[in-house]
Amino acid sequence: MDLVGKLQRLSDAFGVAGFEDEVREVIRDMVAPYVDSCEVDPLGNLICTRGTGEAVMLDAHMDEVGFMVRWIEEDGFLRLSPLGGWDERIIPGHRVTIRTRSGEKRLGVIGAAPPHILKEEERKRVIPLEDLFVDVGAGSRTEAEELGIHLGDPATIHYPFREIRAGYVTGKAFDDRAGCLAAIEALRLLSGEELPYRLVVNFAVCEEEGLRGAKAAAYRIAPRLALALEGTIGADFPGVPQAKQPVRLGQGPAITLADRSIIVSPRLVRFLEETAEREGIPYQYKLPAYGGTDAGAIHLERGGILAGVLSVPCRYIHSPVSTLFLSDLEATIELVVAFLRRAGELLG
């Protein structure tokens, strides 16, 4: 399967924060040939290991932003709570996929009143999520429950993966299925090589709900060195000045200097820069200090862990669809592989 096919499989998998089962099984299937073991910890992290010795940790989170059913109205409409950070301006009018307890998927629509029946001031108002509803075609609460829908069921806005043009793709959850694919491909490309350390790759749960999975995994793995792989904020589009664009598409992977969860050690930043320059890999910096990543939780465990972040630039993250250039993803994979080949130098 080529890179596009792998990204499509990951993107289309259901993996709302706290409900990562489907995407975890996709990843387990992809990495199994390249690791010595894979285990699932009590939180649901998928921890894959190869080799022996001191641990170097890669982390990429499996979860995506989504929703949870918080109420079913007597007339069958659903109410939602957020799982992860959503911009409420863009939620109305989208189609959602709801996963029931049995694993079946039901479709619904986040209802929006047409402008014809709204007052002028109502047309300009952002509707809070708590006021929105989902129409699943049920005429009563009983009918909704007969569809298998219960309180606590997860949901996500899902439009299928597509290639817009050669090398430019769109799909849901590139934050962080792009990072997951970078980790998977690094394992594949290094599968025939001996490394002077134990490589542990954590595919984390619940990053979008407070970096929870990575915190527990980092304590368990106790790495000397860690690198979080992300899909991050590509904002190079009209209306955003360059000084406020965290990263730009087409310029290679982004090295984090600082964000809201970590100030990366200059030693590790220089190491990533030097590695990219040695290999002729284009790179850029993620402008400080937007967002946060699993590295923020990892670097505070076990008395402190040297940790950094490398990201694939993606436009429109935390929305129903995001986009990326395959060239950025490919360059990110190259830099991760080059970093891992040299990582032993940082363990001395």
Residue 317 and residue 294: Cα distance in Å, rounded? 16
Q: Of residues 20, 64, 207, 330, which has the active-site annotation?
A: 207
In a 13 Å sphere around the CA of 340, the CA atoms on its Cβ side amount to: 33
Which residue in 53, 35, 49 sits closest to 347, CA to CA? 53
| Long-range pairs of 303-306 with CB within 8 A, sequence gap ≥ 24 | 305/57, 305/218, 305/223, 305/224, 305/225, 305/226, 306/224, 306/225, 306/226, 306/265, 306/267, 306/268, 306/346
Does residue 54 have an active-site annotation?
A: no
- Decide: residue 219, CB within 10 A, 0-12 exposed, 13-18 middle, 19+ buried: middle
Cβ atoms of 338 and 271 within 8 Å: the answer is no
Catalytic residue numbers, as ranges: 207
